[in-house]
Amino acid sequence: MSKCMLMLAGAPLLLAATADQLPLKHGIFVAADTPCKGASNAAIMSYWGGDNALNVSQAECRINRVAHTGTRYTVTRTCTDIQSQTSMGKDVVHLTIASPSAFTIDGTAYRWCGMKVQF
């Protein structure tokens, strides 16, 4: 997390940049039964931290709200179609986060593969 410093009444004040809203590593996740190298767009999701939501190949999403109980998270997000730049509206995603490098959505398990897509 990056930080910046402001002076308030002559005293330094540390402010944190937008904190990650999900306890996941940043980067590319693929369906657990798929090799990282050569994974199709349909098997890839990405998470880049801050208010960036879990993205799929044709959509860029932003987190509006996160609620969680234990390892179960409910994420409300707003998505935009990457090609047309039109709004795809809001949706709700339910996920279980097993670790910073693994989660499950709708019965599909995903695992972390690194910071970029492997061709």
Specify the pLDDT at position 76.
95
Beta sheet of 108-114, edge-to-edge order: 44-47, 27-31, 108-114, 102-105, 87-99, 72-81, 59-69
Rounded Cα–Cα distance for residues 73 and 50 (Å): 16
Portion of the chain with pLDDT greater than 70, in percent? 84
* pLDDT given at position 37: 95
CATH among 2.40.128, 2.40.10, 1.10.260, 2.60.40 for 19-114 = 2.40.128
- At residue 51, the pLDDT reads 87
Question: Which residues of the chain are modeled with pLDDT < 50?
Answer: 1-17
Most distant CA pair in the chain, distance: 56
Q: Give the pLDDT score at 12.
A: 40
**Token output for 9:** 């009444």
